[in-house]
Amino acid sequence: MSLSEQEWRKEQKRVDRVIQTIHGQMTVLQKEIGGVKADIVDIRKHFWDDIRVNVDDPGEAAETYASIKQQAEVLSERERRHRHAQKRLKTLEKLHSSPYFGRIDFVEDGEPSPQRIYLGLTSLLNENKEEFLIYDWRAPVSSLYYDYGPGPAQYDTPDGTITGTMELKRQYIIRDGRIRSLFDTGVTIGDELLQEVLGRQAGTQMKTIVATIQREQNQIIRSEGKRLLIVQGSAGSGKTSAALQRVAYLLYRHRETLKADQILLFSPNPMFNSYVSTVLPELGEENMAQTTFQEYLERHLGQTFQLEDPFTQMETVFTTMDEPGYAFRIEGIRFKSSHNFMAILDRYLSWLQQTGLIFKHIKFRGKTLVSATQIRDRFYSLDQALSIPQRMEHLVDWLLKELKKQARLEQTKPWVEEAIQFLDSETYGQVYRKLLRKQSFTEDTFDDYEREQRLLAEGVVQERFKPLVTGVKQLRFIDIPAIYRQLFTDPALLSKWSSADLPRQWKAIAKEAVKKLDRFELSYEDATPYLYLKEKIEGFQTVSSVRHVLIDEAQDYSPFQFQFIKELFPRASLTVLGDLNQSIHPHAAGTDFASLSSLYGAEQTEVIRLTRSYRSTQPIVQFTRWIIPGGEAIQPFNRDGKKPTVTKALGKTDLAHKIADRIRVLQAAGHRTIAVIGKTARECREAFEALHDEITLRLIDKETASFQTGAVVIPSYLAKGVEFDAVILYDASRKQYGRKSERTLFYTACTRAMHELHLFYTGEKSPLLAPVPAELYVEESE
Ligand SMILES: Nc1ncnc2c1ncn2[C@@H]1O[C@H](COP(=O)(O)OP(=O)(O)OP(=O)(O)O)[C@@H](O)[C@H]1O
């Protein structure tokens, strides 16, 4: 609805007034920051001036300590104030250019007149702090804006639900202090504004969506009270966006108790991490911690094994489809990622309670000090009611005592005497001083020399035993690789515990696993089960500081990985976001979200579904949704654009020419981020070689740390979660996308396009396109 010029002028006047207030507050803050900074410099410079350091006298030492502590506290208080003021100043700078994006007039039941609520990035009070000029978009009342149109409306506050009537809902686009657009809207947050926002170009970083959050997304953002929130949403439905605004909401809502580093995001790859890393700072918050599951595996297993990463696994799987090892590799991957395999490991662990654990000898100078059998017998003699990790703790205590005994025996050995002679003077002095401190010589001793020798021997042995002691404390005497290996060498064990038949090619799977383990290699499908077993034996090293975990692209995680994350973060709530139609990992065939609710139980689980797709234009969504079963449920957002094209090339050379031409046309049309998506890294290298003489582009691989604008060649599995102005599918042929298992990969690649989608192929086009009605795309044959 367009507004009268008079109304527009009135609104601009208010914007001007608010900006003036912001300006005033910025000036005050800048002064304060200057003052605090000067204070900090001054305190740092004169830190030691007023402190008399005297550590000889215990009384004075305490006083010295107290005054240092006091000075340090003053300093850290000033530094905190400085940080806080800086942060506020940054947010005000943003408000200064665009103070708010929405307004609602709401009459609370029982009140005579409406309250005008303006929504922005953060709250702003007037000079005398009596009136809110802007409400934070995360405030309870702001929920009205996202949930209702004019008419009866209500919102929840910590003190209960407030009901009333919304009389007006208005939207603004304000840039550099000027109102650029202004319109009143209905229930959904203005198609116009959303049209405008979605019609823009893709960037190298994800954008915030606070001005246009949709009702169902608002539900995700504000959902609280359950341990697990599962968001299932179609491609481009705003799962990641909603999740990131949710983090900002949680940080606001629990600002007294929750800090950004207590929130952790698991991303599909490091490039995605960099893609989303600016959203929270844009919203005026510090960024949360971000990682990938692979990073976690590397940290815990990287020292023992050469680990395969998920991209190498996928690359192998997708490039060896016609080779003999393919079928059993896939079977192995599915089996090892299944609930059944997890149940097998759990039964194996119960069995290990009684028997079967494998230990390593503790050896010193080539001689066994405590044998594996002794350790095992000791372990199984411990109270069976105790868990394996509890018994390991007892075992550690026992082993440390055993080592002490052995060390004493060792002191009289000839090698020790020799070692003492060869001690360099520095070590000698060190050992000597240390021993002196521990045991002062008395006046009436006559055996100083022997004592000295004895003490030195003790010191020497102690020094040489250190690695053994550390090893025991780190549980290195448990042979985890052998325990995991045992599963594959004794088929009788495994079939006893399996609730289903073992994979048909079990022998080959087991042989391959053993071969790898013996070479200290671990495939991606073995890594999490291995770690699961290890942690269950050694005792989980949990991270209790993390209060909230978000898992994006959750369809690519195995049941093991979920269970793992749950146990790793015992005090955290989980937000899990995914789309089964984009399950690109080979293990994902068995993944379903329904079984996820068993993680915390149905009562502690909330599921929200998103079906509207915002990323792509209507013609693109109408095209892509035919690729997947059930795609008709996906609703396109009403944004017009060109129909996708499907073009046949005569051969590889022709393909490269045609694609290069299309890139040039796209660039001329103003598109800045253009992706040529290949199925695998191998295909991308081929595409890059064929194209880079004709066109400037970048080849993206798993090591690429961040996005840049321009034309890129990228493998489908790395394009997950991100988007481009235009997408070109390098070879949408039957050869590349001919199997059902390639459907999700194909769909994921096509749904990365915001404004234009172009498919090229050589030979025969992919049968996955067969269901798409011909009128939904333009076929360009020659
Ligand atoms: N409410 C909204 N307002 C403005 N833009 C939105 C909104 N919701 C989603 N978008 C835009 O739609 C695009 C897709 O969003 P996002 O990447 O969060 O979706 P997704 O569900 O995580 O996608 P995928 O599963 O395909 O990776 C982004 O450009 C995002 O900015």
What distance in Å separates the CA atoms of residue 116 and residue 167, rounded to the nearest whole number? 10
pLDDT in tens, 597-648: 888 998 999 999 999 999 999 999 999 999 999 899 999 998 999 999 999 9
CA angle, residues 410, 413, 417, in degrees to nearest 5: 115
pLDDT at 358: 97
Q: What is the mean pLDDT of residues 702-708?
A: 84
Which residues face 363 on adjacent strands? 368
**In which region does residue 670 sit, left (phi positive, over 0), alpha (psi from -120 to 50) or beta (all else)?**
left
- 137 CA from centroid of ligand 1 (Å): 19
pLDDT in tens, 728-747: 999 999 999 998 888 989 99
Residue 236 marked as a ligand binder:
yes
- 234 CA from centroid of ligand 1 (Å): 10
Ligand 1 atom index nearest CA of 206:
31
CA angle, residues 164, 165, 167, in degrees to nearest 5: 150
Q: Which of 241, 576, 637, 725 to mutate to test the pocket of ligand 1 (most atoms within 8 A of CB)?
A: 241
Q: How many CA atoms lie within 13 A of 435 on its CB side?
A: 20
CB 240 near ligand 1, within 6 Å: yes
- 121 has pLDDT over 90: yes
Q: What is the mean pLDDT of residues 133-160?
A: 94
Task: Place 188 in a pLDDT band, splitting at 50, 70 and 90.
Answer: low
pLDDT in tens, 71-83: 788 888 888 888 8
Instruction: Supply the DSSP string of 100-146, one letter for each residue.
Output: -SEEEEEEETT-SSPEEEEEESS-EE-TTS-SEEEEETTSGGGHHHH
pLDDT in tens, 248-303: 999 999 999 999 999 999 998 888 888 899 899 999 899 999 999 999 999 999 99
Residue 461: name the closest of 396, 582, 604, 365 by CA. 365
- 238 CA from centroid of ligand 1 (Å): 3
Task: Place 689 in a pLDDT band, splitting at 50, 70 and 90.
Answer: very high
Instruction: Supply the DSSP string of 588-652, one letter for each residue.
Output: GGG--SGGGGGTT-GGGEEEEEE-EE-SS-HHHHHHHTTSSTTGGGPEEPS---PPPEEEEESSH
Residue 576 contacts residue 231 (beta carbons within 8 Å): yes
Which residues, 6 or more positions from 548, have their beta carbon under 8 angstroms from its beta carbon?
247, 250, 258, 262, 263, 264, 572, 573, 574, 575
Q: Residue with the nearest Cα to atom 12 of ligand 1?
A: 615
Q: Residue with the nearest Cα to atom 16 of ligand 1?
A: 238
CB 142 near ligand 1, within 6 Å: no
Task: Place 1 in a pLDDT band, splitting at 50, 70 and 90.
Answer: very low
pTM, rounded to two decimals: 0.87
CB 634 near ligand 1, within 6 Å: no
Cα–Cα distance list, 84 to 23, 90, 166, 531, 745 (Å): 18, 10, 35, 41, 45
DSSP 283: T
Q: What is the mean pLDDT of residues 757-763?
A: 97
Residue ranges of alpha helices (H) inside 254-290 are 270-276, 279-282
What distance in Å separates the CA atoms of residue 254 and residue 547, rounded to the nearest whole number? 11
CB 214 near ligand 1, within 6 Å: yes
- 450 CA from centroid of ligand 1 (Å): 78
Structure tokens at 6: 């008079």
Residue 237 marked as a ligand binder:
yes
CB 733 near ligand 1, within 6 Å: no
Q: Compute the residue count for the chain.
A: 782
Q: Which of 614, 616, 637 to mutate to test the pocket of ligand 1 (most atoms within 8 A of CB)?
A: 614
Query: How does strand 263-267 pair with strand 228-233?
Result: unpaired
Cα–Cα distance list, 664 to 106, 256, 661, 690 (Å): 52, 53, 5, 15
CB 332 near ligand 1, within 6 Å: no
What distance in Å separates the CA atoms of residue 154 and residue 681, rounded to the nearest whole number? 52
333/68: higher pLDDT? 333
Considering the chain, what is the average pLDDT of its residues? 89
Task: Place 541 in a pLDDT band, splitting at 50, 70 and 90.
Answer: confident
CB 723 near ligand 1, within 6 Å: yes
Ligand 1 atom index nearest CA of 752:
26
- 159 has pLDDT over 80: yes
CB 164 near ligand 1, within 6 Å: no
- 236 CA from centroid of ligand 1 (Å): 5
CB 243 near ligand 1, within 6 Å: no
Residue 238 marked as a ligand binder:
yes
Which range, 46-50, 456-460, 763-767, has the best average confidence (pLDDT)? 763-767
Task: Place 161 in a pLDDT band, splitting at 50, 70 and 90.
Answer: very high
Q: Is the dihedral of CA 210, 214, 215, 217 positive or negative?
A: negative
Task: Place 204 in a pLDDT band, splitting at 50, 70 and 90.
Answer: confident
CB 241 near ligand 1, within 6 Å: yes
What distance in Å separates the CA atoms of residue 127 and residue 25, rounded to the nearest whole number? 8
pLDDT at 2: 56
Burial 438-469 (b: 16+ CB within 10 A, else e): eeeeeeeeeeeeeebeebbbbbbbbebbeebe
- 187 has pLDDT over 90: no
CB 209 near ligand 1, within 6 Å: yes
CB 586 near ligand 1, within 6 Å: no
CB 526 near ligand 1, within 6 Å: no
CB 236 near ligand 1, within 6 Å: yes
559/675: higher pLDDT? 675
CB 43 near ligand 1, within 6 Å: no
Ligand 1 atom index nearest CA of 243:
18
- 258 CA from centroid of ligand 1 (Å): 26
Task: Place 447 in a pLDDT band, splitting at 50, 70 and 90.
Answer: low
CB 273 near ligand 1, within 6 Å: no
Structure tokens at 244: 């990131």
One-letter amino acid at 465 equals: F
CB 550 near ligand 1, within 6 Å: no
Q: Residue with the nearest Cα to atom 27 of ligand 1?
A: 721
Task: Place 186 in a pLDDT band, splitting at 50, 70 and 90.
Answer: low
C-beta atoms surrounding 531 within 10 Å: 21
Task: Place 222 in a pLDDT band, splitting at 50, 70 and 90.
Answer: very high
Residue 701 contacts residue 681 (beta carbons within 8 Å): yes
- 203 CA from centroid of ligand 1 (Å): 13
CB 89 near ligand 1, within 6 Å: no
pLDDT at 351: 94
CB 211 near ligand 1, within 6 Å: no
Residue ranges of alpha helices (H) inside 57-104 are 58-97
pLDDT at 68: 79
Residue 707 contacts residue 204 (beta carbons within 8 Å): yes
pLDDT in tens, 491-517: 788 878 887 778 888 888 999 999 999
Ligand 1 atom index nearest CA of 213:
1
Q: What is the 3-state secondary structure (H, E, C) of 383-411?
A: CCCCCHHHHHHHHHHHHHHHHHHHHHHHC
- 615 CA from centroid of ligand 1 (Å): 6
Q: Which of 197, 215, 615, 745 to mutate to test the pocket of ligand 1 (most atoms within 8 A of CB)?
A: 615
CB 615 near ligand 1, within 6 Å: yes
CB 411 near ligand 1, within 6 Å: no
One-letter amino acid at 115 equals: Q
The pLDDT > 70 percentage for the chain reads 94
- 264 CA from centroid of ligand 1 (Å): 20
- 722 CA from centroid of ligand 1 (Å): 9
Max Cα distance, the chain (Å): 108
Residue 704 contacts residue 662 (beta carbons within 8 Å): no
Q: What is the mean pLDDT of residues 182-199?
A: 75
Query: How does strand 521-522 pair with strand 548-551?
Result: unpaired
What distance in Å separates the CA atoms of residue 609 and residue 216, rounded to the nearest whole number? 8
Q: What is the mean pLDDT of residues 1-19?
A: 86
pLDDT in tens, 376-429: 999 999 999 999 999 999 999 999 999 999 999 988 888 888 888 777 777 777
Instruction: Supply the DSSP string of 298-329, one letter for each residue.
Output: HHHHTTTSEEPPHHHHHHHHHH-TTSTTHHHH
The pLDDT > 90 percentage for the chain reads 59
pLDDT at 439: 61
Q: What is the mean pLDDT of residues 468-477?
A: 95
Q: Residue with the nearest Cα to atom 9 of ligand 1?
A: 238
Q: Residue with the nearest Cα to atom 25 of ligand 1?
A: 235
Residue 234 marked as a ligand binder:
yes
- Gap between the terminal Cα atoms of the chain: 47
- 623 CA from centroid of ligand 1 (Å): 18
Residue 292 contacts residue 311 (beta carbons within 8 Å): no
Please provide residue 642's backbone torsions phi and psi, each rounded to the nearest 5 degrees.
-80, 150
Residue 680: name the closest of 640, 737, 630, 623 by CA. 737
pLDDT at 385: 92
Does ipTM surpass 0.95 in this model? yes
Q: What is the mean pLDDT of residues 202-229?
A: 90
